Structure formats: C-alpha cells, structure tokens
Amino acid sequence: MLLSTLTMAAQNVSHTTALPYSSPQVPESVIFCGKEIDLTRFDRHERMDRELLAFAYMHSTSIQTIKRANRYFPIVEPILKEYGIPDDFKYLMAIESSCSPLARSHAGASGLWQFMQTTGREYGLEVNKNIDERYHVEKSTVAACKYIKDVKGVVVLGTLPFNFLKWLVISAITILTYKPLSRTILKKK
C-alpha cells in the first residue's frame, strides 16, 4: 500500500519543477580591511555563497561562534589595535577556531589562533607538557599579532605597494602557515 502510494506520488511530480528553497543573497561586494572586495567574479561569488549557506543553516555552530565572539572579540580587539593589525583580523580567529579557545585541529594546532607547538614557541608562547599558552586568550593574541607582523614584513619585501591586496595575501598566508612561502620569497630577493 505504502509503496504504491509513493510510486503514484513520484509519477505526479514533474521532472521540470524544482523544489522551492531559499538561501542568503550574496552581495555584489563586501568591505574587508577598509577596502571593497568585488564578489561578482564567479569563484568569489561561489566561495561567499558557500560560507553564507554554512553560516545560515548550521545554526548550532553559527550561534555558538557568535556567542563566543561576543565574549572574546572585546579582549582581542584592543590587542590588535595596539599592534596596528586591522580589526577585521579578528574574523581570522573566528574562522580558525570558531572562537573556541579550546579548539584543537587533527594536525595539533591549538587555541583561538590555531598555533602549532613550534610556531607558538617561536612567537613567545610557553608550550610544554605542563603549560600550553596557545590556549591563553591574551598571550596567544599577542603571538598572533607578532606572527601577522612577520608575515607583513615578508610581504612588504615584494614589489606591491602596501594596500588591501597585501592584507588579503597576509590573511591567506596566515591561514596556510607562511614559513615555507616566506623562505622561498626571501631566497628570491
């Protein structure tokens, strides 16, 4: 009985009729570090669409991230300002860890800024079997600022003028870990 009902219902569905759905509208542009980013290119549009859909429909994760952001952004913002890092970099922290100071990746990166042990030590964090400052909000943010400043120093060695493009490059390199790339850039100079 159920099978025949489902079969009849399936036959009545037109193959050309799409089921209704809604998704957040992707804007034509957004502002990052004070500069406008054009989202009309298909690749940028698709990446933004993916992020908006994930944020809009993964409610539990999105709401947790927003709640944590309200807790940690006020701590992080003055530190970023003190080091001259654009305020938008706080969103890098949100992307890296969903604003969870206890976040840990499968590769071993930990804390809000997802430092690996070695990188954390290089930027002044104490990391050993008893103490792990990658989980300390203020100390790890200071280390992240130093890290970003170092990446900026590497990028400044390039031929581009210091502008929005450099902040995008810094963001990308920071996410990907800049050490191998920075060594390559320095060797070419």
The string of pLDDT tens digits covering residues 2-17 is 445 545 555 555 555 5
Residue 128, phi then psi, degrees to nearest 5: -150, -170
Q: Which residues contact 54 (CB under 8 A, 6 or more apart)?
A: 62
**1 band by pLDDT with thresholds 50, 70 and 90:** low
Listed residue (33, 8, 79) closest to 171, CA to CA:
33
Structure confidence at residue 157 (pLDDT): 38
The string of pLDDT tens digits covering residues 95-151 is 888 899 999 989 899 999 999 999 999 999 999 999 999 999 999 999 999 998 887
Instruction: Output the pTM of the full model.
Output: 0.61
Lowest mean pLDDT among 38-47, 52-61, 162-171: 162-171
Lowest mean pLDDT among 45-49, 82-86, 116-120, 181-185: 181-185
Q: Tell the residue number behind the tokens 């193959």, with chain if given.
A: 15
The string of pLDDT tens digits covering residues 167-181 is 555 555 554 444 444
Structure confidence at residue 73 (pLDDT): 95
User: What 3-state DSSP class applies to 154?
Assistant: helix
Q: If residue 36 lies in a helix (H) or strand (E), which one and from where to where?
A: strand 35-38
* Angle (nearest 5°) at CA 126 between 124 and 130: 180
